[in-house]
Structure 1
């Protein structure tokens, strides 16, 4: 029997979606799903929801819930990781302290001070999971990682362990749907090649059969009425020639061009995911307040589950592809082993991959266009120093990583960055004992 373990299962909305995606494949219903979270209340909610699904749909699935990580990982074939170490308390420090020094972030989970400190909190837990897996999970058990910062987490995992893993995001899928809408072509008729790094991959090709759809997309975005949102991403498309895979709010943090001046953000930014200061934290606080209400609504919903409504998330399809030996193509975050030739070997790249019964098989891409590689490199330099800092527990390297961050150094001088980083270490010390 296949065993699928969720680490950080307490997220009601996301866990529910992944669970229903998995159960949408009849061949996967006769499996064990182990739910693990350190928050007992949230764990109890998702467990009750799973028991409701089981009883309502008469499923053969065996569900178990535990706060014991090793118990959850015992005999696991697949380990889905969705953790946020430090929760909203730490996220508030990630955003508020840099803002005090004069720099802003919208999300703060991928790069910059927010992303680096989130990574420093997360990687000891990820390495602990890997250690447990080597002792108690099935040989070759696969990590399906959703925890951000994706690139740094996967890079460090591949540097420090030999546990099979792949990082999953939905930026490629959502952007592909958006581009198909602009081209007025059904997504099922579109094919594309997207490659780069997580949250900054590039649509190198977007086609319907032999037809290049980029001209239609350019006409829509550059010649039609201006769109009210996503202006930063559209501006970078205008300047580079390639559309990127992440929202304007995310993207504004990975570049030195926009957040540094209010006038620029007034012109290109916006509210919410278009670049609003501290938006991710505000959204998360609001979502947390609604969790109990959402849970009660889900629990009382007696309608039959429409398993045909599978989400765009790759996770369930990868598991299905491996279990049934049905090849599945997706974009995954993997170690660069010459896959993208003008990005460093060993870094984490997001490239087309295939899943089948023998595992995950990344595809060779070759060279990115020079401007795409250069912008990726500006982020990879930060990621590489941060990974080395985490694995060697070298606090000085943390200063250097954040000093090299494009958004941070567009706002602050080196001595200001050092003061900011020191204050973040002090505020977050309970999650970072390795740096004391």
Structure 2
């Protein structure tokens, strides 16, 4: 049969244009959705659409298909529908009225634990110092109503002094605060100082020589059994009421809490800890160089990270050898960390107090005095007075508070996520996924990270030295057992976590201390009832 040739193509049916980018008279680009209403957007901040930064002076077209995309063909994913969600008012089919102050950079930020006189005011101050977050809505949440009112007065007073244009409110009901949240920052604890003292004292009575009792050892387990259910209950509310939000966790024990979030929720979560800052302060003091001139690359587990590289930020010079030479002449400065460096080949970035929580012989290098609760109480009283004075309108003290940030990284991370920036962070707590090659992919690690395109990714740091990896793997297995114990009320998992812990001498001691901790904290541990 002769070849009939290719079948003629059907004429392609042209679909009406639904969107895209088109040039504007200002020489920029506009997002096109039809039908549309065109309006100028203030050029104060650059908004981001589908990964591109809108040039100054560009025109934004706002979709007319429905309020915030509800029931609309684009399902609210277009930048224009995000604009509707953040300021548009629908008055009829395909017709919107948009206020002049529409700004895609506005965020709704919920601070849970804001009544804490340390966490609440410092986070509020950091937000007000960020131009990128000016005009945002901040909801303060805490179960301590009177404490919350003090922080709210402080926030509103400081907001006026800073001219930040943020909107502050407060509630004791987090479910009321969560709908529409972009970011949920969590720093919570159950009667923190009083119960921490018990976590410190009870193991000592059983002959356990631990150095801090917050994140590792029996105290770390007890802390996790209280903290994990509390943070998981918050995360489940976030899943239900603000599934699009990022949860930024400051709650300790960091690794165990974040591991529980990864195992038992679907929230987008990241853990933030300032302890890398101690590594910078230590290196600065030893080398006699400003912190700003140093670059530290560290990795491991939270409060158990190790300095992989220490360089001069401007010249790239390797400063590790000189750091080691100088600190060796300071035998009283971080003696445990110096010994760990001699044995394993890397210097801990966290200081003896935290690294010692995961080392059985730490007590030989440190006094068994524990946390400075008296000093912390003095600090609390001082900050209380400052917060009350600023809340009452003390402008001198307020201006002083606005002269410096806290050093925490929550605002930097929120800026990068909300503005689609690309930003490096020295230390974030994430699921490993190969960042540290010789630790399990499912481990919760602290590594340098990259924030870009609305995502947070751990940077690949290679393999840790074999001995350090072994220490970290043991801690990871203990963390898994602690999470299982906290979530299921599994006494056997809790016992195994203690028997594996390097600061616990034997199984009989583990049983005795576990019994007393569970009995003492029974009111806060219903999962073990």
Q: TM-score, normalised by structure 1?
A: 0.90
- In the other structure, the counterpart of 1:374 is 470
2:485 counterpart residue number: 389
The DSSP-based 3-state class of the residue aligned with 2:442 is coil
Q: Distance in 2 between matches of 1:171 and 1:324?
A: 26
Q: How far apart are the structure 1 equivalents of 2:471 and 2:182? A: 37
Secondary structure of 1:366's counterpart equals coil
Q: Which residue of 2 aligns with 1:99?
A: 204
Q: CA deviation at 1:60?
A: 0.9
**What is the CA distance between 1:17 and its match in structure 2?**
2.0
* Aligned residue pair count: 418
Q: Distance in 2 between matches of 1:242 and 1:301?
A: 48
Contact residue 487 and residue 527 of structure 2 kept, 8 A: no
> What residue in structure 2 maps to residue 350 of structure 1?
446
Which ranges of structure 2 fall in alignment gaps of 5 or more residues? 1-105
Deviation at 1:181, TM superposition (A): 3.6
- Aligned match of 1:154: 258
User: How does the TM-score come out when normalised to structure 2?
Assistant: 0.75
Moved more, 360-369 or 144-153: 360-369
8 A Cα contact 1:105 1:277, kept in partner: no
Structure having the larger proportion of residues in helix: 1
Task: Sort the Cα spacing of 1:227 and 1:199 in 2 relative to 1 into closer, same or farther, 3 A.
Answer: same
**Counterpart-to-counterpart distance in 2, 1:256 and 1:202:** 18
Q: What are the within-5 Å matches in structure 2 for residues 25-424 of structure 1?
A: 25-137=130-242, 139-208=243-312, 209-222=315-328, 224=329, 226=330, 228-259=332-363, 264=364, 268-270=365-367, 276-290=368-382, 292-299=384-391, 301-303=394-396, 304-305=399-400, 307=402, 309-330=404-425, 331-409=427-505, 413-424=506-517
The DSSP-based 3-state class of the residue aligned with 2:434 is coil
- Distance in 1 between the 2:383 and 2:288 partners? 37
CA distance in 1, matches of 2:132, 2:350: 33
Distance 1:354 1:347 in 2: 18
Deviation for aligned residue 1:106? 3.6
Higher relative contact order (CA 8 A, sep 6+): 1
Structure 1 residue 121, shift from structure 2 partner: 0.8
SS in 2 for 1:201: strand
Deviation of the 1:220 alpha carbon: 0.8
Per the alignment, residue 522 of structure 2 pairs with 429
Inter-CA distance 89–311: structure 2 relative to 1 (3 Å threshold): closer
Secondary structure at the residue paired with 2:109?
Answer: strand
Deviation at 1:372, TM superposition (A): 1.6
The Cα of 1:307 is off from its aligned counterpart by 4.4
Report the counterpart of residue 76 of structure 2 in structure 1: none
Larger mean CA deviation between 342-351 and 373-382 belongs to: 373-382
Tell me which structure has the larger Cα radius of gyration.
2
Structure 1 residue 416: Cα displacement: 2.0
Give CA deviations for 1:156-182 in whole Å, capped at 9, x if unaligned. 110111101111111112212321342
> Which has a greater percent of strand?
2
What is the Cα deviation at residue 283 of structure 1? 4.1
Distance (Å, rounded) in 2 between the aligned partners of 1:42 and 1:237: 44
On the 8 A contact 2:128/2:159 being kept in 1, the answer is no
Deviation at residue 211 of structure 1 after TM alignment: 1.9
Report if the CA contact (8 A) 1:194-1:352 is conserved.
Answer: yes
Per-residue CA deviations over 1:386-428 (Å, capped at 9, x if unaligned) read: 122223321111011011111123xxx2112101101111110
Shift in alpha-carbon separation, 1:244–1:81, aligned structure 2, 3 A:
same
1:106-129 deviation line (CA, Å, top 9, x unaligned): 432111111111111111111111
Q: Distance in 2 between matches of 1:43 and 1:104?
A: 38
Contact 1:167–1:332 at 8 Å: present in 2 too?
yes
**Separation of aligned partners in 2, 1:2 and 1:408:** 46
The answer for the alignment partner of 1:273 in structure 2 is: none
**Cα RMSD (Å) of the superposition?**
2.0
Whether the 8 Å CA contact 2:214–2:223 is kept in 1: the answer is: yes
Question: Does 175-184 or 250-259 show the bigger shift?
Answer: 175-184
The residue matched to 2:487 in structure 1 has which SS? helix
Partners of 1:248 and 1:58 in 2: CA distance: 42
Q: CA deviation at 1:205?
A: 0.9
User: Corresponding residue for 2:77?
Assistant: none
SS at match of 1:211: coil
